[in-house]
Amino acid sequence: MIRAIDHVQLAMPAGGEPMARQFYVGALGLAELPKPPVLAARGGAWFGRGAVQLHLGVDEDFHAARKAHPGLLVDDLDGLLARLRAQGIAVREDSGLPGYRRAFVADPFGNRIELMQSIPSS
């Protein structure tokens, strides 16, 4: 029986690690996680906070995931969106999911990232 998702992996082009760190650590506020040496030799980077882990792997034939995406639950969507906008990151807010406020951003490689905050029931 499946009980949880361990991580989500997105692709990135070779040499994109510095841009990945700037976005995932500097903009989204995740921490970089150490990769096992055998995997670190392949390039890429791992990021996470708490139970959330995003792995970015090098894909020699890279194409951005513009529809498929991770959906990340956040505590302060307004604060995060303000921080992203202040860093020049384009944000597209969306109201199409009942019970949530959400927005979409793209990482430096064009991968789609959904940011979600639940709306408390009245």
- The tens digit of pLDDT for each residue in 67-105 reads 999 999 999 999 999 999 999 999 999 988 999 999 999
The model's confidence at residue 2, banded by pLDDT at 50, 70 and 90, is: confident
| CA separation for the pair 28, 64 (Å, rounded) | 18
For the chain, domain boundaries: 8-118
The model's confidence at residue 51, banded by pLDDT at 50, 70 and 90, is: very high
Q: Tell me yes or no: is domain 8-118 CATH 1.10.10.10.
A: no
- Give, in order, the Cα–Cα distances in Å from 45 to each of 88, 95, 104: 23, 32, 22
Q: Which of 5, 34, 9 is nearest to 107 (CA)?
A: 9
pLDDT of residue 32 exceeding 70: yes
Q: Return the bridge partners of 120, or none.
A: none
Percent of the chain with pLDDT over 70: 99
Task: Give the mean model confidence (pLDDT) for residues 7-35.
Answer: 97
